[in-house]
Amino acid sequence: MKKARRCLIRVRPEYRRHLEAHEQWWRLIWQAQRTNGVTLTTLTPEFGPPPYLHTLPFTDTPVSDLAAICDWMAVRETEQFDLWQREDRARGVMEHAR
């Protein structure tokens, strides 16, 4: 039995809400970690070769470049974490000003 494919094709709009949902969950995790004094965090998306990577029917030829997907995700999630940190600092400044 094959496992369900988990790899999203980053340019397809029908997957955007799934990606953004996962990113929102990570923001909640980071906030909980910050609240609990955690100073180190990791984020490990699950990508891998077929059956996780989408393939063509009958041939199982990959339709995407796994290395390119991993590189893209590393850049995107680093940017997401940086954005969350900036927003978190801004919230702290606003709360302190009250």
Residue 46 belongs to a domain: no
Q: What is the pTM of this model?
A: 0.74
Tens-level pLDDT at each residue, the chain (98 residues): 445 445 445 557 888 888 899 999 999 999 999 999 999 999 888 888 888 888 999 999 998 889 888 888 998 999 999 999 999 899 886 565 55
Residue 18 belongs to a domain: no
Residue 33 belongs to a domain: no
**Domain total for the chain?**
1
Residue span of the structural domain in which 74 resides = 64-98
Residue 85 belongs to a domain: yes
Residue 48 belongs to a domain: no
Residue 74 belongs to a domain: yes
* DSSP per-residue string spanning the chain: -PPPP-PPPTT-GGGHHHHHHHHHHHHHHHHHHHHTT-----------STTSS-B-TTT--BSS-HHHHHHHHHHHHHHHHHHHHHHHHHHHHHHHH-
Residue 25 belongs to a domain: no
